[in-house]
């Protein structure tokens, strides 16, 4: 009886989408058939002979069966891929609430300069009012003087006009 020939198996690896895959096959064509792919991934550089010892050991335990794991992870290869173990995102520590004293209100600004300026303005307005009152009083006196002068002028003019009329009449009567 002849001994069955020992098949030499090579382990090939490729990436399909989100999974890395390895398969133990006697040649590249058998590896492509195991993956169910028609195009030559080896010619395109998308598949190659695996050098990862853990991948070789897992693939040789299941010859002709593609084993998968999540792409880029270091998880072991299996018949069904597992989701990679991703550590939780670091959490920001909660800020500790500190008891804070309310800030003291700022001291009110110094009003002394404003008060002095307002007092000076009030004094100036008082002086102006007093001066206007004095000018109004003097104006009233002057208006009375003007009215008296106008009355005097009218009276004097009437008298002068009467003299002129009398002399003109006398001149005309004299033949002039």
Over residues 91-103, the pLDDT tens digits come to: 887 777 777 788 8
Minimum mean pLDDT range among 34-43, 66-75, 116-125: 66-75
pLDDT for res 98: 75
Burial state string for 56-85 with b = 16 or more CB within 10 A and e = fewer than 16: bebbeeeeeebbbbbeeeeeebeeebeeee
Do 66 and 117 lie in one domain? The reply is: no
Residue 55 inside a domain? The answer is yes
Residue 130 inside a domain? The answer is yes
pLDDT at 86 over 70: no
* Helices within 17-111 (DSSP H only): 28-35, 41-44, 53-61
- 73 versus 87: which is more confidently predicted? 73
* Cα–Cα distance, 4 to 24 (Å, whole number): 19
Do 115 and 175 lie in one domain? The reply is: yes
Residue 59 inside a domain? The answer is yes
Residue 46 inside a domain? The answer is yes
Q: How many CA atoms lie within 13 A of 140 on its CB side?
A: 5
Do 115 and 176 lie in one domain? The reply is: yes
Residue 41 inside a domain? The answer is yes
Do 115 and 168 lie in one domain? The reply is: yes
* Cα–Cα distance, 166 to 173 (Å, whole number): 10
Q: Could you report the per-residue pLDDT of 141-168, keeping only the tens digit for each?
A: 999 999 999 999 999 999 999 999 999 9
Phi, psi of 97 (to 5 degrees): -75, 120
pLDDT at 2 over 90: no
Residue 42 inside a domain? The answer is yes
| Residue 16's pLDDT band (cuts 50, 70, 90) | confident
* Cα–Cα distance, 112 to 119 (Å, whole number): 10
pLDDT for res 141: 94
What average pLDDT does the structure give for the chain? 87
pLDDT at 85 over 80: no
Residue 28 inside a domain? The answer is yes
Q: Of 70, 85, 120, which residue constitutes the final position of a domain? A: 70
Give, for 19, the enclosing helix (H) or strand (E): strand 19-25
Range of the domain at 43: 10-70
Q: Are 104 and 63 in contact (CB under 8 A)?
A: no
Do 117 and 169 lie in one domain? The reply is: yes
pLDDT for res 25: 93
Q: Could you report the per-residue pLDDT of 91-147, keeping only the tens digit for each?
A: 887 777 777 788 888 888 999 999 999 999 999 999 999 999 999 999 999 999 999
Residue 21 inside a domain? The answer is yes
Do 120 and 173 lie in one domain? The reply is: yes
Phi-psi region of 110 (alpha: psi -120 to 50; beta: other; left: phi over 0): beta
Q: Are 82 and 70 in contact (CB under 8 A)?
A: yes
The count of structural domains within the chain is: 2
């Amino acid at each position: 009886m002849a001994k069955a020939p020992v098949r030499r198996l090579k382990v090939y690896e490729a990436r399909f989408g989100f999974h890395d895959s390895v398969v133990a096959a006697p040649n590249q064509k058998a590896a492509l058939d195991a993956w169910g792919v028609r195009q030559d991934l080896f010619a395109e550089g998308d598949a190659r002979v695996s050098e990862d010892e853990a991948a070789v050991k897992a693939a040789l335990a299941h010859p002709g069966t593609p084993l998968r794991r999540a792409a880029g992870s270091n998880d072991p290869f299996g018949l069904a891929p597992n989701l990679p173990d991703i550590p939780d995102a670091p959490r920001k520590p909660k800020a500790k609430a500190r008891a804070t004293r309310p800030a003291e209100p700022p001291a009110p600004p110094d009003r002394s300069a404003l008060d002095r300026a307002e007092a000076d303005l009030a004094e100036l307005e008082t002086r102006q009012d007093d001066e206007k009152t004095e000018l109004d009083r003097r104006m009233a006196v002057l208006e009375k003087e003007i009215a008296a002068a106008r009355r005097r002028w009218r009276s004097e003019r009437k008298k002068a006009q009467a003299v002129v009329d009398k002399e003109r009449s006398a001149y005309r009567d004299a033949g002039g």
